[in-house]
């Protein structure tokens, strides 16, 4: 893997982008890597556009500035594409993973990335979370999709750490529904 | 054996507090310190620690209750940020003058106004003359390690001063990183049993604490307080040595990073030191003799040690994450330059005020500082003392 991998999560407050970034970092750390996870804090309110970040590396990470050039962008809410510059600072061959009902080709057009070396992955994470968890909670399926698309971590590692992290806050049956969402997303992510 | 964990800075400090098992914690929540109090009160509610948790109605009361508990003979802690520290002000000085070894994590945040929740060092820099020991942390690991060490420093009979342990708000307090924690028994052993010197609750040996102290003795007492700060330096180093035996992690009054043969050097405290290390590494690869001095202990200020560590450098940039509004420089610069006065052919030295109100400081910003330093070193002089880094004007 790259020496230092940087990820930017775009979500709306309440969609769990911060939790997703934290779980991903915990999973990377459990796998023996070094990682950071931190959200951007502003005047928080439900539904407001927000971002969260990850750095993952095989070596200790000492940098503590914002992530400005992420090679991976995860978009939990497709309406943010119109509201935010989700491509800001991303290299030409960056990876985009979008929660959408669109297919990858259509999303590539929507992002203005036709004829670009960028990789575009899509997943209907909202539908998966409705089917499994019973409410629109796209963060856990998007973690599964991220691991499915990039091979960043072993799926089992992600599942183990999700179980641990969500288990501190949620009832076991809800945790298991989230795990099911991760498994489905891992399979269904498309490019 | 240490345990490798993923924790945010706030989680790390709350964990340290649980392991240290203070008798009393009196605290009031304020962003970005809130999670420390929230997580720790969860530990108390879950019976994981038997601390008496006092939920007060303000920070003035938090520090007052902490002082009361410490004077009674308890091991007492609190935690705060920014305006919370400002509201404690009156009692912060009293804690120091009563020589109460209180340990207080402070999550650095800009003092209002304009109102802002993000990191700068204006809160603790404002308290630099309050008589508290001040230890700055680069990351979650250091926040944890410094909290554990602060207790042993504060409670040392040659010191008996309160200690603040800082970490950068949000940048560290809310960022998850890899770190190592000790087992509970190891920490229990490390902090030991606290034997207070003159506790109010020792009814067989009654004492008066905090009486009126006018011109007949007040100056002697303030002189003793000053002497305790002088004495604390050796204690800080001894505690660091013991801590290194326990954990393998070495601390000093400051960290020297690639400084031995450096021609240009930056002096910085807090999380920006980590970002600056990345730049030093890059510059070294390009053949630039760049170095870094990361101040860990700001009070007591290690003036002689800093002068010895920096005397060979050609140009120094001090980075201040707060302003003194004194029309000259930030507070760290004033002390570092003062420390360098009298050094034979002293290096050129300039100040950069940066990161105010949480303004991001990137490796590019720090590269610019080193570029400026190279220029100053070549010319042997600086055109101006103070630059506001990354400001629009």
Q: Where in chain B is the domain with CATH 3.40.50.970?
A: 3-247
Nearest chain B CA: its distance from A114 CA (Å): 31
Residue A45 has pLDDT above 70, yes or no: yes
Instruction: Name the pLDDT band for B176 (thresholds 50, 70, 90).
Output: very high
What's the rounded mean pLDDT across residues A1-27? 90
Of B4, B6, B271, the CB nearest to A64: B271
Mean pLDDT throughout A61-86?
96
Contact residues of B toward A, CB < 8 A:
4-6, 32, 117-118, 138-139, 168, 170-172, 174-178, 271-272, 274-275, 277-278, 360-363
Among B42, B116, B176, B319, the residue to mutate for chain A (most A Cβ within 10 A): B176
Mean pLDDT value of segment B140-165: 98
A37 Cα to chain B: minimum distance (Å): 5
What is the tens place of the pLDDT at every residue in A161-181? 999 989 988 999 999 999 999
In chain A, what residues touch B177 (CB-CB under 8 Å)?
A: 25, 34-36, 61
- Out of A29, A36, A65, name the one closest to residue B275 (CB): A65
Supply the mean pLDDT for chain B.
97
User: Which whole number is the average pLDDT over B105-130?
Assistant: 97
State mean pLDDT over B219-224.
98
> Which residues of chain A make contact with B172, given a CB cutoff of 8 A?
64
> Given strand A49-57, what is the order of strands in its sheet?
A119-123, A95-99, A72-75, A4-12, A49-57, A34-39, B176-181, B3-8
Of A35, A63, A65, the CB nearest to B178: A35
Reported as a single tens digit per residue, the pLDDT across B368-382 is 999 999 999 999 999
Residue B173 has a pLDDT of 98
The fold for domain B3-247 equals Rossmann fold (3.40.50)
pLDDT range class, residue A1, cuts 50, 70, 90: very low
Check residue B194 and give its pLDDT: 96
- HEC assignment per residue over B334-389: HHHHHHHCCCCCCCEEEEEECCHHHCCCCHHHHHHHHHHHHHHHHHCCCCCCEEEC
Residue A42 has pLDDT above 80, yes or no: no
Position B66 scores a pLDDT of 98
Cβ B287 vs Cβ B264: under 8 Å? no
Q: What's the CA gap between B335 and B320, in Å, rounded? A: 11
Nearest to B96 by CA among B130, B137, B52: B130
Contact list, B174 vs chain A (CB under 8 Å): 38-39, 41
CA distance A163 to A178: 9
A37/B175 touch (CB, cutoff 8 Å), yes or no: yes
Mean pLDDT of chain A: 94
- Does the pLDDT at position B39 exceed 90? yes
Mean pLDDT of B287-300: 98
Tell me which residue of A43, A27, A34 sits closest to A62, measured CA to CA. A34
Is the CB of A35 inside 8 Å of chain B's CB atoms?
yes
User: Per-residue pLDDT tens for B177-217?
Assistant: 999 999 999 999 999 999 999 999 999 999 999 999 999 99
Which residues of chain B are in CATH 3.40.50.920 domains? 254-388
Residue of B5, B117, B277 with shortest CB distance to A62: B277
pLDDT tens track for B58-71: 999 999 999 999 99
Top mean-pLDDT range of A16-25, A156-165, B101-110: B101-110
Domain count, chain A: 1
Q: Are residues A36 and B6, on separate chains, in Cβ contact within 8 Å?
A: no
| pLDDT score for B259 | 98
B105 three-class SS: strand
Mean pLDDT within B240-256: 98
Q: Which residues contact B20 (CB under 8 A, 6 or more apart)?
A: B75, B77, B103, B147, B148, B151, B187, B191
Say if residue A43's pLDDT is above 80: no
Q: For A35, which residue in chain B has the nearest alpha carbon?
A: B177
Residue B161 DSSP code:
-
pLDDT higher than 70, residue B146: yes
pLDDT of residue A46: 87
Q: Per-residue pLDDT tens for B78-87?
A: 999 999 999 9
| Helices A155-167 & A17-30 angle (0-180, nearest 10) | 120
- CATH code of the domain in which A101 resides: 3.40.920.10
A79 inside 8 A of chain B by CB: no
Q: What gap in Å lies between CA B110 and CA B122, rounded to an integer?
A: 6
**Which value does ipTM take for this structure?**
0.92
Does position B1 have pLDDT exceeding 70, yes or no? no
- Identify the domain containing residue A113 by its residue range: 4-188
Which CATH fold would you assign to the domain B254-388? Answer: Rossmann fold (3.40.50)
Contact indicator for B22, B76 with CB cutoff of 8 Å: yes
């Amino acid at each position: 893997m790259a020496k230092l991998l940087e990820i930017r999560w775009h979500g709306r407050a309440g969609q769990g982008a911060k939790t997703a970034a934290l779980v991903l970092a915990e999973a990377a750390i459990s796998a023996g890597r070094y990682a950071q996870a931190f959200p951007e804090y502003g005047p928080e309110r439900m539904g407001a556009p927000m971002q969260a970040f990850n750095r993952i590396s095989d070596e200790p990470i000492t940098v503590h500035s914002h992530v400005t050039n992420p090679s991976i962008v995860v978009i939990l809410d497709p309406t943010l594409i119109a509201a935010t510059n989700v491509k800001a600072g991303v290299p030409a061959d960056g990876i985009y993973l979008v929660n959408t009902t669109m297919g990858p080709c259509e999303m590539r057009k929507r992002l203005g990335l036709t004829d670009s070396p960028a990789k575009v992955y899509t997943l209907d994470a909202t539908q998966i979370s409705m089917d499994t968890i019973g409410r629109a909670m796209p963060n856990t399926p998007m973690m599964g999709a991220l691991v499915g698309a990039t091979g960043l971590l072993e799926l089992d590692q992600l599942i183990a750490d999700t179980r641990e992290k969500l288990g501190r806050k949620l009832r076991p049956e809800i945790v298991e529904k989230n795990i099911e969402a991760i498994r489905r997303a891992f399979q269904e992510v498309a490019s | 054996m240490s345990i490798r964990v993923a924790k945010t800075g706030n989680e790390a400090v709350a964990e340290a507090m649980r392991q240290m098992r203070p008798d009393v914690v009196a605290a009031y929540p304020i962003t970005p310190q809130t999670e420390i109090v929230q997580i720790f009160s969860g530990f108390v509610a879950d019976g994981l620690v038997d601390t008496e948790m006092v939920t007060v109605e303000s920070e003035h009361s938090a520090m007052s209750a902490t002082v009361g508990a410490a004077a009674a003979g308890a091991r007492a802690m609190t935690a705060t940020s920014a305006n919370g520290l400002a509201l404690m002000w009156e009692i912060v000085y009293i804690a120091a003058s009563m020589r109460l070894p209180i340990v207080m994590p402070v999550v650095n945040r800009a003092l209002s106004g304009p109102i802002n929740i993000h990191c700068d060092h204006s809160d603790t820099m404002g308290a630099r003359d309050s008589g508290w020991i001040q230890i700055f942390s680069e990351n979650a690991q250091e926040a944890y390690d410094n909290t554990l060490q602060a207790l042993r420093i504060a409670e040392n009979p040659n010191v008996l001063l309160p200690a603040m342990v800082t970490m950068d708000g949000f940048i560290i307090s809310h960022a998850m990183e890899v770190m190592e924690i000790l087992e509970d028994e190891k920490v229990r052993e490390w902090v030991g049993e606290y034997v207070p010197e003159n506790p109010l609750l020792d009814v067989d040996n009654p004492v008066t604490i905090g009486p009126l102290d006018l011109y007949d003795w007040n100056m002697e007492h303030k002189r003793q307080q000053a002497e305790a700060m002088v004495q604390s330096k050796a204690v800080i180093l001894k505690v660091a040595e013991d801590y290194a035996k326990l954990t393998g992690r070495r601390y000093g009054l400051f960290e020297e990073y690639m400084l031995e043969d450096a021609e240009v050097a930056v002096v910085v405290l807090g999380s920006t030191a980590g970002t600056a290390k990345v730049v030093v590494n890059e510059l070294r690869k390009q053949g630039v003799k760049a170095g870094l001095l990361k101040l860990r202990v700001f009070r007591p200020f290690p003036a002689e040690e800093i002068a010895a560590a920096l005397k060979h450098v050609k140009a120094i940039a001090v980075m201040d994450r707060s302003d003194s509004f004194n029309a000259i420089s930030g507070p760290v610069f004033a002390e570092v330059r003062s420390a360098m006065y009298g050094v034979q052919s002293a290096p050129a030295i300039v100040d950069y005020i940066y990161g105010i109100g949480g303004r991001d400081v990137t490796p590019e910003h720090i590269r610019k500082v080193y570029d400026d330093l190279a220029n100053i070193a070549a010319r042997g002089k600086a055109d101006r003392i103070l630059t506001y880094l990354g400001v629009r004007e």
